[in-house]
Amino acid sequence: MDPAAANKRLARYQAKLEAVEKILEDKSRELFLANQEEQKANAYLQNIISSMQSCLIVTDAQCIIQVVNQATLELLGYESQDLEGKSLAMLNVEGYSIDLTDLEALSSIDTLVRQEIKYRAKNGEKVPVLFSSSAMYDTEDKLNGIVCAALDLSTYKILENQLLQSEKMASIGQLAAGVAHEINNPMGFIFSNLGTLSEYIEEIIGLLETYKNLEESVAKSDVENAQAQLAKLKETKEEIDLDYLLGDIKELIEESHEGANRVRKIVQNLKEFSHSGQGDKIFANLNEGLDSTINIVWNELKYKVTLDKDYGDIPEILCYAQEINQVFMNLLVNAGHAIEERGEIKIRTYEEENYICVSIADSGKGMPADVQKRAFEPFFTTKKIGEGTGLGLSMSYQIVVDKHGGELQFESEIDVGTTFIMKLPKVSNEN
C-alpha cells in the first residue's frame, strides 16, 4: 500500500476516533451532570418528605410499605425498619370507613375527601388521624402503589372533647330546672306515701298488741279477759278498716317503688349523658338511646308536646353512643322550642340501604330561608342570650358527619315545621 494513502487513511481513522472520544466524553459529562441532578432532586425530595409535618406512607401495588416519613415514625413510635417492607395492614384499626387492608378501597378513594380513622401505634395505642390516599399508576396504566397522607388529630380531639363536654354541661344547665322537677315529683309522693305508711304501721302495731294480749289470755285460760280482748280486736279492725288498710299499703308500696325507679332512671340517664365521651366506639341501639334522652328532656316537652314514636326493628350500630345521645338531645330540645303552644314531635327510626336513620319532625313554626342557610354555623342562634350557646347544631353536624361518616339533613317550612334526618352508616356485629 502506498505510504501516503495509508497515512491519509490512518489520519481519517484517528479523526473519527477523536470524534467518538469527544462524543463519549460529552455523553459521560451529560450523564454525570444528569446523575448529579437526579441525586439533588432525590435529596431535595427526601428533604421535603422528611420535613413534612403531615404523615406520609407510600406502598407498592401489594400495600407493602416502601417509604415512610419522619413525622409518621415520631407519631407512631416506630423506627423506619419496623415499617419499611411490611404490610400497611399492621397500622389498621378496625371499625372505620377506610380499611387499610382493602387495596381496592384505598385506590378508589376520592383524593379530595379526607376521612377520620385511627392508626395503630407501636405501643398499641390508637392514634386519630385525618386520612386520605391516592393511587399511583405506571406508563401502562397499571396500579403501581398507594400514597397515604394523614394529619395527627390527637390535640384536636382533646379540644373537641372539651368543647363537646362544655356543650353537654350547658345543655344540662339549661334543663336543670326541668330535670329537678322530674325528680321532685316522684320524690314528693314517695315522701307523702312514707307518712301514710308510718300512720298505718302505728295502727297495725296497736292491732298486734291486742293480738298479743289475746294470746296471753288464752295461754292463761283467762276466758273472761280473752273475750274482752277478742271484742277489742274486732273493734280495732273495724276502726282502722283493716281490709282497706292492707290493700292501700300494697298500692302505696308499689307507687313508691315506681317513683323510686323513675328517679333512679333519670339519675342514671343524666349520669350517662354527662359523662365524658372519650373512648372507642361501641355497639349501641339507637332506640334505647332515644328513650334515655327523652327521659332527660321530657319536662321540657311534656306541657306542650305530644310525642309520637315509631321505632323500627333496627340493628345495633358501631358509634360514639354518648355523643349520638347529645345529638338526640339537641334535636329534641330544638323541636320543643320550635313549638310555641301545642304541637307534635314525631320520632321515627328505620333502615335505608347502608344506613340506620333517625327522623325527628316537629309541627313548629319552621325556619326562614336565611336561618336555614346558617343552621349548622358555629355560635349562630336565634334564641335569646342565655337560652342557647349556638353550638348545638354545629356540634351535632360534626358528630354525625365528621366523626361517623354519616349525614345530617333537614327540611323546614314556615308554619308547617322542621324535620331533621340523621343517617349513620351500618356496621354489623359480625364486622
- Which three-class secondary structure string do you get for the chain? CCHHHHHHHHHHHHHHHHHHHHHHHHHHHHHHHHHHHHHHHHHHHHHHHHHCCCEEEEEECCCEEEEECHHHHHHHCCCHHHHCCCEHHHHCCCCCCCCCCCHHHHHHCCCCCCEEEEEECCCCCEEEEEEEEEEEECCCCCEEEEEEEEEECHHHHHHHHHHHHHHHHHHHHHHHHHHHHHHHHHHHHHHHHHHHHHHHHHHHHHHHHHHHHHHHHHHCCCHHHHHHHHHHHHHHHHHHCHHHHHHHHHHHHHHHHHHHHHHHHHHHHHHHHHCCCCCCCEEECHHHHHHHHHHHHHHHHCCCEEEEEEECCCCCEEECHHHHHHHHHHHHHHHHHHCCCCEEEEEEEEEECCEEEEEEEECCCCCCHHHHHCCCCCCCCCCCCCCCCCCHHHHHHHHHHHHCCCEEEEEEECCCEEEEEEEEECCCCCC
Q: Which of 360, 382, 386, 329 lies closest to 172, judged by CA? A: 329
- pLDDT value at residue 44: 65
Give me the pLDDT at residue 350, please.
Answer: 96
Q: What is the pLDDT of residues 111-154, one digit of tens each?
A: 445 677 889 999 988 888 888 888 888 888 888 888 888 988 88
| β-bridge pairing 65-68 and 55-60 | antiparallel
- Superfamily (CATH) of domain 279-431: Histidine kinase-like ATPase, C-terminal domain (3.30.565.10)
| Fold of the CATH domain 7-157 | Beta-Lactamase (3.30.450)
- pLDDT at position 169 is 64
Q: Quick one: which of 165, 176, 170 has its CA closest to 276?
A: 165
Domain extents for the chain?
Answer: 7-157, 169-277, 279-431
Global model pTM greater than 0.75: no
Distance between terminal CA atoms of the chain?
92
pLDDT of residue 429: 39
CA-based nearest residue to 358, from 427, 407, 297: 407
Residues of the chain with pLDDT under 50: 111-112, 428-431
Residue 1 has a pLDDT of 58
